[in-house]
Every structure is written in structure tokens, then in C-alpha cells.
Amino acid sequence: MGLDNVDVWFQDEARFGQQNTTTRLWAERGSRPRVVKQQQFEYAYLFGSVCPARGIGEAMVVPWVNKNIMVEHLKQLSAVTEKGRHAVVIMDGAG
């Protein structure tokens, strides 16, 4: 099999969410007021891959990342891989 029939994909995921840490309130000088802070947060994950040689990318926004999400993403890549070609996915191994 020659490399001219191989599409190289680079995969990564990123978490997006908001967690503010700056809080201001009126208090007497020298006192240490208690500040109630939100403890739970919602995040979204962008899970995607790019194939620079073909100039295309595939991605999905999901509420979490796990093995099943990876399987779905590989199905995405399989669907856009032309018949007779192979896809190699390079992953960073983080997480």
C-alpha cells in the first residue's frame, strides 16, 4: 500500500466553559466577608480532526468525552474517507 492512498488526520479535543473567579462586594475594611460562589459548571467539548492534505476537517460538540464519542468521531472520519483510501489518525494521548 502506497502512502498516496493514505489521508493523515490530526485529532484533538478542547473543553469550553466559564468559571468566573473575580467577585466584588462592599465590606468593612479589615473584615473577611464570606462570598457565596457557584460550585457547579457546565462545559462543552469540541472533538475534532483535520486533514491538512485534503483541506478538510470534521468536528462535533459534545457534553463529555469518552470512548463512545471517539468511536462516533472515527465513524465521521470514515464517512468522509473516499473509497479505496485509508485514514490514519494522529492523537496527542492527553487525558
Is residue 30 a part of any domain in this protein? no
pTM of structure: 0.73
Band of residue 32 on the pLDDT scale cut at 50, 70, 90: confident
Is residue 26 a part of any domain in this protein? no
pLDDT at 20: 66
- Domain around 93: 7-14+41-95
Is residue 22 a part of any domain in this protein? no
C-alpha–C-alpha distance, residues 14 and 45, integer Å: 6
Is residue 32 a part of any domain in this protein? no
Report pLDDT digits (tens) over 57-83.
Answer: 999 999 988 999 999 999 999 999 999
CA 54 to chain centre: 21
Is residue 31 a part of any domain in this protein? no
Number of domains in the chain: 1
The C-alpha cell at 78 is 470514515
Give me the residues paired with residue 45 across strands: 15, 62
CA 72 to each of CA 10, 37, 42, 48, 57: distance values in angstroms, whole numbers, following the listed order = 16, 36, 22, 11, 15
